[in-house]
Copies of this chain bind each other. A is one copy, B any other.
């Protein structure tokens, strides 16, 4: 037989369009839940999808490895390519770049749609994969890749497709939200909160991808791509994690009615271009951020996720829920599976359609924001006026200032004082220059913290 003969045609072209063969690649925490749902809920799923969803097989790397004993042994295979070739719809849950990437390309090239939760792969190769899917009238769905169970990809791509999204603020990493929430609630230091998160299974043994913000950055790139209809790559995202956040930062925030969250921020910004013309562009960043305690995102506790969206007409929206875990993530995967099946049954081509334009990516210098700046200074008269003069020089307006003095006689020159400023919105450039000049003042012992403030 030739290769063409061994490849079954997609269900829409087969004699019986009422059965769709689903290939599952990977069977970890999420994969085993997806398999369970496909097997247990098949009647309800068939009614909603308009076709029976037949689990054609589960590809795993090693057939001898320990596996979910609840799932029928005969479903497992180590031949992922053959499984993909036999399927109408492929669910990729292997994670990592290869072989996930090659298998997804193999699937879409034969017209099979793919559902994946692989944010690392999408952040690296998303545009190329989307393009290949579109070229083959296949579809690449990835609701599970951002904020687990929370429906956010579909609302942005479809519900808000007639609006203009101007900003997205997301708590999209449960590990760091758990750590910051613990620090806020118990006053713990970062290292202790991280250890507790590791003990409870919220953080991995090597927590780098979470605490350094890399996981959030991949999701920020995806959210920005969809929100602004323009390609945004991982390297376009400016990223700072939470390892530098101290118990003192948290306590000072609390004193001011603020809370620190690691936010993925995607903004449409306007920058002065050449010859005074204005350029619209996207700015995408991940960093610890101060938020007022009344902000809807401030109430997102523990390992929960939430995405706050500002759109020109819709105004402020928030989407809240579980950001990870086998069952919540499987719910998102299955939503994509059923929606894809409906489309295939209807005979419509897939359309991933993420980028309809190409906006410039603007550096953080183009952004205006507020800063909270903490300084340690000697407790001498005249220090505040010297510091305030630097703000004024750079045109940065101070919204609030708090002084805390350690020592018995204020102004005696013997103790030290802590000054904490919150500025009004100013350009990142002016703020960065202000901080640099303050550092160089002889009356300033040290700059103890610089944090951006949103939602004020």
CA distance A80 to B149 in the complex (A): 43
* Residues of A288-331 contacting chain B, CB below 8 A: 296, 299, 311-322, 325, 327-328, 330-331
Cβ-based interface call for A33 (8 A) = yes
Residues B317 and A318 in contact, CB atoms below 8 Å apart: no
Q: Which of A159, A337, A353, A357 has the most B CB atoms < 10 Å from its CB?
A: A159
State the A residues within 8 Å of B (CB). 33, 37, 41, 44-45, 47-50, 143, 149-151, 154-155, 158-164, 229, 296, 299, 311-322, 325, 327-328, 330-339, 342-343, 346-349, 351, 353, 356-357
Count the copies: 2
- Beyond A149-B314, A163-B335, A319-B319, list 19 extra A-B contacts (CB 8 Å): A37-B162, A41-B162, A47-B357, A49-B161, A151-B154, A151-B155, A151-B160, A158-B335, A159-B339, A160-B331, A162-B334, A313-B328, A314-B332, A315-B325, A317-B319, A318-B318, A318-B319, A320-B320, A342-B351
* A93: min CB distance to chain B, Å: 14
Q: A299-B296, A311-B331, A338-B161 are in contact. Are A318 and B321 (CB under 8 A)?
A: yes
CA distance A317 to B353 in the complex (A): 27
* A109: min CB distance to chain B, Å: 20
Residues B159 and A151 in contact, CB atoms below 8 Å apart: yes
List 22 interface pairs A-B (beta carbons < 8 Å), by A numbering.
A37-B313, A41-B162, A44-B356, A47-B356, A149-B315, A151-B159, A160-B335, A162-B334, A162-B336, A162-B337, A162-B338, A163-B334, A163-B335, A299-B299, A313-B327, A313-B334, A314-B322, A314-B331, A314-B332, A317-B319, A318-B320, A318-B321
CA distance A229 to B46 in the complex (A): 13
Q: Which residues of B contact A319 (CB under 8 A)?
A: 317-320
- Nearest B-chain residue to A160, judged by Cβ: B335
Residues B335 and A161 in contact, CB atoms below 8 Å apart: yes
* A22: min CB distance to chain B, Å: 11
A151's partner among B33, B143, B296, B317 (CB-CB below 8 A) is B317
CA distance A314 to B41 in the complex (A): 15
